[in-house]
Amino acid sequence: MPVHHRYATVRGQRLFYREAGPADAPTIVLLHGFPTSSFMFRHLIPALADRYRVIAPDHLGFGLSAAPAADEFDYTFDSLADLTAGLLDQLEVRRYAMYVQDYGAPIGWRLALAAPDAITAIISQNGNGYDAGFIPDFWQTVWNYHRAQTPETEAAIRSALTLETTTWQYLTGVPDETLVSPDTWQHDFALLSRPGNDAIQLALFRDYATNPPLYPALHEYLRHNRPPVLAVWGRNDPIFGPDGARAFTSDVPDAEIHLLDGGHFLLESAGAEVAELIRDFMARATTRG
């Protein structure tokens, strides 16, 4: 199936998105994480589009979407979720399954809490919704920055914006590093390095503190609405560990948990396996719905 590369203006902001598949098919919305974009789904989209309408936006400040300066736009997870909701409304998407990874998770959770009946299924690939799963060796730097923005804590958090850390995110925990194209981290780092993008990312690092307080509402939503849940996780992720995947069963007992041998960006080394798990899961989730 061909993949279309499109732009839309939402709330006055220009958003880029990839779209493929039949317009009348069940919809899957793919929500990317930091520091990447819908580029991370470049192989997954065609693997799903024969059966589903697939939409993958770039969040504002990421990828090919606009990136207004941090002093011109309030970069929060609330605002990114609001833009995503606006895009889906413009595309007349009323019901959809969501695939969330990293930053895509807190954006997706906000969408689900705002319109719970719109969500037909949840696929989480290293996208946390629980306190379990945070790896302290990585997150301590973020938590320190939340507590106090000082020159010391800012310098530490800025290490996440380097080529070294971007490469580390892609390769750590991958059993065969030759499966991961260097294009990935070079692509992400080039966009991270745009003038002013550091301030955008710092704003979102600060705002990440608003995400764990949403978890109790998310858990209540999961218990009450019982959407089909698939957690497909790179078990060696140094950012979100496998306990974050297992935790979904505490609220959705029949959640399907798959811990694969891979890292944070699992699609780069196990994309075909993930796609097959999604296709199998979605076939059953659609039947349930």
Residues designated as active site: 264
Beta strands in 32-73, from DSSP E residues, in sequence order? 53-57
Give dist(CA 203, CA 132) in Å, integer. 24
What is the spatial distance between Cα 214 and Cα 235, in angstroms, rounded to a whole number? Answer: 24
Helices assigned H by DSSP within 92-135:
104-114
The helix (H) or strand (E) run that includes residue 186 is helix 182-192
Q: Kindly give, in sequence order, each residue whose CB lies less than 8 Å from that of residue 265, ignoring residues fewer than 6 positions away.
A: 36, 40, 169, 170, 180, 184, 234
DSSP reduced 3-state for 33: coil
- The string of DSSP letters for 246-280 reads HGGGGTSTT-EEEEES--SSTHHHHHHHHHHHHHH
> What is the sign, positive or negative, of the torsion defined by CA atoms of 74, 97, 62, 173?
positive
The string over 139-151, giving b where at least 16 C-beta atoms fall within 10 Å of a residue's C-beta and e elsewhere, is eebbebbbeeeee
Beta-sheet strand order (sheet of 256-260)? 3-10, 13-20, 53-57, 27-31, 96-100, 119-124, 229-234, 256-260
Residue with tokens 């609220």: 251
